[in-house]
Structures are given as C-alpha cells and as structure tokens.
Amino acid sequence: MDAEQISLISDIVVGVSAVFVAGVAFFGLQTWRKELTGKAKFEIARNTTLLSSRLKAEFQDAVNIFTSSAESIGRVKSESETPEESQVLNEWYARGHHLQPLSDDLRKFIELSWESEVVLGEVAGAQVSETLKIYRKSFAELSSAIYSYFETRRHEVVSNRPYENQDWLNNLHHIIYQLPDSDYLKNIESINEELASVLKRYVR
C-alpha cells in the first residue's frame, strides 16, 4: 500500500469520524433542548397551578362572612368618629385588608399567563388566559362592591338617613358576604379545576 492510498484511507476515516461526531453532537443538542423545554413547561405549569389554587383560597377568605376585631387594629381612627361610624370603618378596613393578598397574587398570575402563552402552547395558554379573565372580573366585582357598600354605609351613619336604594345596597352586601356554596365561589372553584385539568399533563 503506497503513501497515496494510505492518505486516501486516512481522509476517509477522518471524514467518517467527523460525520459521526457531528451526528452525536446534534442528537445530544436535540435531547438537551427537549429536556430544557420540558423542565420549563413543568415549572411554569406547576407554578401556575399552585398560584391558581392559592387565589381560589384567597377569594374564599375575602368573602367569608366572618371578620375578627383584631383585623382593624392597624386602622388610624379619627377623634370625631362615633361608635357606629367606627364599626363601619373597622369592617371596611378589614375587608380591604383581605383584598391585598388577592391583588398581589393576581399580578403574579398575570405575569405567569404571559409565560404560559409562550411556553405551554395554544390550548394551555388559552385556558390560563380564561382563568385570568374570571379571576380579574371576580376581583373587580368584589373590590368595587366593598368600596361602594361601605362608602354608602358610612354616609348613612354620618347623615343618620338610610340610602334611598336599599335593594342595590343589599345586592352589594351579598357580593361581599358569601357562603362557601355561593355561585360566585363555585365559579372560581370550577375555573380553577379546569385549569388544573389542562395543566396536569405538564406536571406528572
């Protein structure tokens, strides 16, 4: 075997080796990408599921018919307040205090919804968006009811005159104070379960 043949065989071996190494590297890169994507989907789906469950619990707490007198300790009182006005303002303060964790976690859920739409795909992203829509609507309804109800109740106490539209006021009261089997809470629980059902494929 002369030098030219040896050189040719050497070139062939090098070429085959290069193709083999490139193939292995490509396969490894694809595997790494799949693992990385799978991990990202798992983290986002898990975080979204957990946060949704926490929001459901916070909604339940926010409309619980009971509040503790200790919840209004942080409120700064006016010297001119009557006992009746203080009672209204204390309850208003406590109810507003219940909204704070809801507001904070709702902002986190909004951020996760952006990631979900990009990483989890169209179906899961659409379900996260629908869940967010229900949560935002429920929060807006509750926060608006709390403000309107207690502002009106305070005016009633200060003026010593009942508000002219008591049906409207009672409706606000029903939004703020709810039993566990209310339609409001059932709707929140239902959308939370739907979300968990869609995302469970990513967190197995």
Tens of pLDDT, residues 169-183:
999 999 999 999 999
Q: Model-level pTM greater than 0.85?
A: no
The confidence score (pLDDT) of residue 129 equals 93
Asked whether the beta carbons of 191 and 134 are under 8 A apart, the reply is: yes
> Per-residue pLDDT averaged across 54-81, rounded?
90
Provide the mean pLDDT of the chain: 84
Residue with token string 């869940």: 131
Is residue 30 over pLDDT 70?
Answer: no
